[in-house]
A and B are shown apart, each in its own frame.
Chain A
């Protein structure tokens, strides 16, 4: 499957934090074509393994790649007497980005709904300068209360309804590209690895619940206990309103994070590989814990040397997140070449401080 087709399936798919299971089959069937084994763990992480070529199968080194499959979303918290739904957010949502949005309420069945807005005719001018709070918004699924109560329960997850939009060149916009773009990069990487010799066993993990607790990365890195953990997430893409210093640019390759969450020597190796293979990349600076799966991996068990690659993404945590497919392709390639450069022999040296 084309990586872009895979990404579209994922982005259009539905899986807020804690309720990622609708995505499992798409990921499993795509991964299975390229990996030796794919399984699902107790919290719903999908874990695929590609065995390396090292002779001593029992004592081979392990590299874990983690990209989170969950997306931010909403959840039913109450039902009004006229059947409108009150909701809360799962993960960080700017309430200003959801007014007038179409949603799918995942009740007994998937139900179309609209987050209503007040007609401008009924507002006074000053009203429009205030953002509407989430607690004052409702979802209209077009049924009377009795029917809504048959179809919807408090606690049902809600996703924003949005299909991927093809923009100019290789750029696309859609929801949940944070971090399904990372999952697509894993996919790109595993396809690339079929062409190259690699010694290490590679664990491709699509993690759950990154947006709320990093639970997926915590438990999967515990069970895999890798020698190196690499998170693939998204980074703030440059736009006019953001300071240049806190962003990376679209189309210029993955950001390679630098900072306390990142193993310094492994990072050097990664940068040198990018240089060797002429893969564009950028620096992303994050002094403390990164708030990504790389953070979760770093502190698991006795500590896991970690790396973080960030795919540039504009308008993060909106439903029109925008990226350049070239960046995903380059991220996958860089990962593959980096993986191929790690051996049982050179790993210890690389991890030396």
Chain B
């Protein structure tokens, strides 16, 4: 194992342990709001880990990933809305009154956003480069405007969910327990990405990013590899959307906004593209600065932009790259 990889492993382990310690410290220090902030960062990190599979491994710059985040959010919102209002979601072939069970909601959010990513990927992956960016942006905007006009589920105002959904054996209203759930999902997403990157599929996807024609020469279809990656990527980002909706107990069209898609990309760039914990660091930095600088000025994005500029110009491996050293790719 190379020095950079070993250092990165230590950095990742420290970050993972740090995330475990955050709620404990917040509880000890009597700062419960920090747990909510950390939960927000962890959920954003899950969304960006999803995007990192497409962007970091596959080189697919999607400016429409908020669509999957929003689909996951609305999957949660619609299921919970029907359950809390005792209105059947559908009555044929059987009566289904929605659900406020997180495991079921997660499965639906994962499956529906994955399915949408598959369909969008089928069309978008016919293009590449700037056209791919534009077509994903266009799909994202389609979902955004559709949600605004969807009066049955709150339209522009969104939907309020009165009680956070439940998870067997846990009190999800307890911030630490809900944080623990989100942290477990993040850990699982990171594990999937780590295993994927080292698998023959992940290596072929990485190779397809580098020289697609050579990948064809060894019998692999780059489009199929990218489509699978894009589908998984969208599904994980959708799962993050369901968690985000549960954190806020609110779903609105802003979850589909293109600005949010841009922020996911920024998380990855700040943390380090294709670095396993890059999205985690990026989300933590973003949420931290949003909290610290947001209290000082509503124009805090200016300072955040300066930070992004500095990283792009002087630290292309992102924060992880600056600490652990340059990786072999992307930096």
Is A bound to B?
A: no
